[in-house]
A = this chain, B = another copy of it.
Amino acid sequence: MAVDMTRLFAPRSLALVGASNSFMKWGFIVLANILSGGYKGKIYPVNPRGGKILGLDVYKDLRSIPDEIDVVVVTTPAAGVPGAARQCAAKKVPFMITITAGFSESGDEGKRLEREVAEIVRGSGVRMVGPNTMGIVGTGARLCALMPPVKPQPGAISFVAQSGNIGSQLLGLGQVMGVGFHNFVASGNEGDLRVEDYIEFFGEDEKTRVIMAYIEGVDDGRRFLDVVRRITPRKPVIVFKAGQTRSGARAAVSHTGALAGSRDIYDAAFRQAGVIKVSATDEMLDLARAFAYLPLPKGNRVGIVTWGGGWGVVTADACEDAGLNVVPLPTDVIAKIDSVLPPYWSRGNPVDLVGTLNREAHRVALELIVGCPSIDGIIALGIFGAATFFSELVANASNLSENVPPELVQTYMKEIRREDEKFESTVVTLMDRYNKPIVGATVIRNPQAERDVPRQVLVFSTPEKAARALWRLYEYQRYRESVHRET
């Protein structure tokens, strides 16, 4: 049975042991991050000195808080952590998040202290995140109990990282890219809860549609694979495994003490367990949002629709290199596209829209390709986010010309944006109707605001990324089919 972590990621009440008024202490910074993140529950700062911190009443110890506490965050010096753990046990707090460092990562005395804390916690009913964790995020409760000032937007991805640094930086990159998260945890030294415990909970958590993990090493490989194997037929599990080369493995031993197996052994085990393995940090986010918001393609046959010919060539290369099949178009589809495009369009796949500004022609061509029974997935280039391009153009021109009445510019810009939104909602409708993924690729585009909806238009920053994402969706679809055939 998975540990039920609902209250860890969405606590009704939270205490911060080690809260501080001192500007450069983690007991101040973490509290400031929780407050500025807009946490919905009650917050109780704890410090033996009492007083007020950031406008909140400070309690001298956990016991004196007149309320049940779902989560205790600890930022005291390491020597104070065993005491804090005992207080948590006495108050029957279900979860303790030990941000404090100076445990097994820092030498023999730290190892001893970590064992001591683990023993207090074990059997007391308290479950611990960390020690030496950068913290957790639960966007359902708007909880950002983190050391760095990152505020992820809500989404369908839950993420566990064996490096808080990598985890929080990917959350930050997600903010820039418009990738939202449901839960995040930096597992720290894993004195109690381990990476596979979090994954197991995410597997059962309804709001999590995609699981993402950064891993350096697992203590119990068999349990890890058992947990993952039970989840992957229902939910994608995306794993970045660090420490796979000789140099990387040496660095991992020094960082988390992780003993790395060889890359071949991991690859084979992951493949068997249906893990979606990624090999670059930024690929994790690209794939996670593809799995969160796109239907899985039934085959590897791809249709390319492009505003300009050059990107069509690059994308065709990228598709073939990724394993996708850029299939010929049926003659009836070519004939139908003939009626909306200039006679010198490519008359094949990629469909080169030869730069036409006619949005209706874009829509018709796209719909014909999506509806084509011999095509499983679509990459569309240059036809999403056209508003950015045109509004810059219009702004430019209107700033310079005395001949352009401002009202006209306003009307025109509004129309461009409306057209863009209409176009995107058409695409979502098409994805739903035909149950096929349609992905965009546009080199320059403002970050997307990810919305909390099951289907949306995703625009990748390069066609290479779009092609690789489609291929991974297809691979996972094949895995799922093979599992279901067996059972």
In-complex Cβ contact of A396 among B36, B105, B442 (8 A) = B36
Most buried by B among A165, A321, A389: A165
Interface flag for A406 (CB, 8 Å) = no
Interface flag for A242 (CB, 8 Å) = yes
Chain B residues lying within 8 Å of A281, measured Cβ to Cβ, are: 314, 443, 462-464
| Distance A55 CA – B348 CA, assembled complex (angstroms) | 45
Cβ A350 vs Cβ B251 within 8 A:
yes
Chain B residues lying within 8 Å of A304, measured Cβ to Cβ, are: 251
Most buried by B among A36, A314, A382, A392: A314
Give per-residue flags for A232-258: 1 if the beta carbon is below 8 A from chain B beta carbons, else 0: 000000000011111110111011100
Chain B residue at minimum C-beta to C-beta distance from A260: B313
Chain B residues lying within 8 Å of A392, measured Cβ to Cβ, are: 149
Cβ B348 vs Cβ A316 within 8 A:
no
Within 8 A of B (CB), among A324-362: 326, 342-344, 346-348, 350, 352, 355
Chain B residue at minimum C-beta to C-beta distance from A161: B310
Within 8 A of B (CB), among A446-476: 461-464
Interface flag for A214 (CB, 8 Å) = yes
Chain B residues lying within 8 Å of A173, measured Cβ to Cβ, are: 443-444
Chain B residues lying within 8 Å of A105, measured Cβ to Cβ, are: 344
Interface segment among A9-17, A75-83, A203-211, A397-405: the answer is A397-405
Cβ A282 vs Cβ B462 within 8 A:
yes
Given contacts A54-B401, A280-B462, contact A216 B307 (CB under 8 A): no
**How many copies of the shown chain assemble into the complex?**
2
Given contacts A310-B214, A313-B243, A397-B23, contact A170 B443 (CB under 8 A): yes
Chain B residue at minimum C-beta to C-beta distance from A166: B310
- The smallest C-beta distance from A478 to any residue of chain B, in angstroms, reads 21
In-complex Cβ contact of A163 among B250, B311, B399, B404 (8 A) = B311
Cβ A346 vs Cβ B148 within 8 A:
no
Cβ B350 vs Cβ A316 within 8 A:
no
Interface flag for A317 (CB, 8 Å) = yes
Within 8 A of B (CB), among A68-106: 101, 105-106
Given contacts A54-B401, A255-B312, A396-B33, contact A245 B320 (CB under 8 A): yes
In-complex Cβ contact of A348 among B33, B244, B254 (8 A) = B254
Chain B residues lying within 8 Å of A36, measured Cβ to Cβ, are: 396, 399-400
| Distance A75 CA – B314 CA, assembled complex (angstroms) | 28
Chain B residues lying within 8 Å of A347, measured Cβ to Cβ, are: 254
In-complex Cβ contact of A242 among B28, B282, B317, B404 (8 A) = B317
Chain B residues lying within 8 Å of A280, measured Cβ to Cβ, are: 462, 464
Given contacts A248-B316, A462-B281, contact A255 B352 (CB under 8 A): yes
Interface flag for A1 (CB, 8 Å) = no
| Distance A342 CA – B101 CA, assembled complex (angstroms) | 13
Cβ B32 vs Cβ A397 within 8 A:
yes
Interface flag for A123 (CB, 8 Å) = no
Within 8 A of B (CB), among A172-194: 172-173, 175-176
Interface flag for A120 (CB, 8 Å) = no
Cβ B163 vs Cβ A308 within 8 A:
yes
- The smallest C-beta distance from A288 to any residue of chain B, in angstroms, reads 15
In-complex Cβ contact of A444 among B55, B161, B169 (8 A) = B169
Most buried by B among A170, A255, A442: A255
In-complex Cβ contact of A248 among B251, B317, B461 (8 A) = B317
In-complex Cβ contact of A106 among B176, B344, B382, B399 (8 A) = B344
| Distance A347 CA – B253 CA, assembled complex (angstroms) | 12
Q: Kindly list the 6 A-B residue pairs having the minimum CB-CB distance in the complex, ordered from nearest.
A: A163-B310, A255-B309, A165-B308, A248-B317, A245-B320, A247-B326
16 A-B pairs within 8 Å (CB atoms) are namely A23-B397, A29-B396, A35-B400, A106-B342, A166-B310, A166-B311, A169-B442, A214-B310, A242-B310, A242-B317, A245-B317, A250-B326, A254-B348, A281-B314, A281-B464, A282-B462
